[in-house]
Amino acid sequence: MTEGAVQLDEAGLDGLIQALRRKGRRVIGPKWADDAIVNDEISGVADLPAGWGDELEGGRYRLVRRDDGALFGYTLTAQGWKRVLHPPAVTLFSAAKTADGYALTPAAAEPAPMAFLGVRACEIAAIAAQVQVFETDPGHQARRNAALIIAVECGRAGATCFCASMGTGPAVTGGYDIKLVELEGRRFIAQAGSAAGAEILAELNAPAAAAVSQNPAMGRLMAAETARSLSEFAEHPRWDEVAKRCLACGNCTMVCPTCFCTTVEDQTSLTGDTASRVRRWDSCFSVEFSYIHGGAVRTQGRSRYRQWITHKLSSWHTQFGRSGCTGCGRCIVWCPVGIDITEEVRAIDATREGR
């Protein structure tokens, strides 16, 4: 379903948002908030971050004004769609005391229909990766199935982007219901990728147009072959070197759109009348995360960084048949000391025999 592109102007894009809202969908898209572009509920085009771009570097995120007024002129939102599909805290069930025992209330009912506006190519790959990880989690599957994907192809890549190395972008080639390409003057080419997307576009009565695609140059490059074989470098001296810089703060795992580790907490009221079990994001950078029967097995920074990057880039292939990295670059941007996943792999790559 890739034929049948139409052209939308700014009013047409607003018409698309309103059509989604009329169908009962909560539209979540990019918004300016606290000097960052974040995903939040939007009610129309006026909520979009018009004229904002971003500068991304290791440990650095700055919004900058653009002179073209583009609506999707930023690279990526600060956090991705993981916050919606795999929320930081999920109540798995709760219990309340009754006269003859406890009444259990299972996890949330069906999520309300949603539409994600502004999904980039690397984010489509991240959503697919987490669907695979949470294959047996009905809550995650229900949230994903409730979301329509309105992708927006990147017109420019950030300095920390390397999706081309990971084969996830920058072109949007699948996994969307509607794909938008922003042209100059807040004009868009919209193309359906599913029956649901085609139905909505047909309602807009927009003029037909030729499909287009964009291919911005990448800011960074991943040494993909070495990345995939990182499991073979468990004793590499680079782990000691990176441990001197790494604060083990876990920021990289929080912003990573594919990181999925969690912990489970049981909470009981002081009276003992109610209790709940909550699943929360956790991180392989916390010492407690590797605690097993009497002690943690990853007590040093070197072993925690090694665990994260080796799992992400290498053992994901064994576990899930794909890399756990989509090349979005968020872990580089939001690392307070600017540790760069591509640079760490390159340092190991440079020491390989025959290089």
The set of residues, in sequence order, having a beta carbon less than 8 Å from that of 338 and lying 6+ positions away, is 57, 58, 59, 60, 332
The set of residues, in sequence order, having a beta carbon less than 8 Å from that of 157 and lying 6+ positions away, is 75, 163, 170, 216, 217, 218, 219
Alpha carbons 36 and 29: distance in angstroms, whole number: 13
Alpha carbons 76 and 9: distance in angstroms, whole number: 22
Task: Return the number of the residue (197 or 329) whose C-beta is nearest ligand SF4.
Answer: 329
Task: Return the number of the residue (144 or 330) whose C-beta is nearest ligand SF4.
Answer: 330
Alpha carbons 120 and 154: distance in angstroms, whole number: 7
Shortest distance in whole angstroms from residue 249 CB to ligand SF4:
4
Length of the chain measured in residues: 355
Task: Return the number of the residue (79 or 191) whose C-beta is nearest ligand SF4.
Answer: 79
Residue 83: how many CB atoms within 10 A of its CB?
18
Shortest distance in whole angstroms from residue 48 CB to ligand SF4:
24
**β-strand pairing of 291-292 with 295-296:** antiparallel
Shortest distance in whole angstroms from residue 79 CB to ligand SF4:
10
Shortest distance in whole angstroms from residue 180 CB to ligand SF4:
22
Task: Return the number of the residue (168 or 191) whose C-beta is nearest ligand SF4.
Answer: 168
Task: Return the number of the residue (112 or 247) whose C-beta is nearest ligand SF4.
Answer: 247
Task: Give strand pairing partners of 41.
Answer: 28
Shortest distance in whole angstroms from residue 139 CB to ligand SF4:
22
How many Cα atoms sit within 13 Å of 289 on the Cβ side? 22
- Chain residues that interact with ligand SF4, rule: CB under 6 A: 246-252, 255-258, 285, 312, 325-331, 335-337, 339, 341
Identity of the amino acid at 76: L
Task: Give the single-character DSSP code of 135.
Answer: T
Shortest distance in whole angstroms from residue 305 CB to ligand SF4:
6
Determine the distance from the C-alpha atom of residue 95 to the mean position of all C-alpha atoms in its chain, rounded to a whole number.
32
Task: Return the number of the residue (42 or 256) whose C-beta is nearest ligand SF4.
Answer: 256
Query: Would you say 219 and 159 are in contact if contact means Cβ atoms under 8 Å apart?
Result: yes
Q: At what angle do helices 10-22 and 195-203 cross, to 10 degrees?
A: 120
Alpha carbons 26 and 91: distance in angstroms, whole number: 21
Shortest distance in whole angstroms from residue 328 CB to ligand SF4:
4
Residue 74: how many CB atoms within 10 A of its CB?
24
Shortest distance in whole angstroms from residue 1 CB to ligand SF4:
28
Task: Return the number of the residue (73 or 250) whose C-beta is nearest ligand SF4.
Answer: 250
Task: Return the number of the residue (28 or 335) whose C-beta is nearest ligand SF4.
Answer: 335
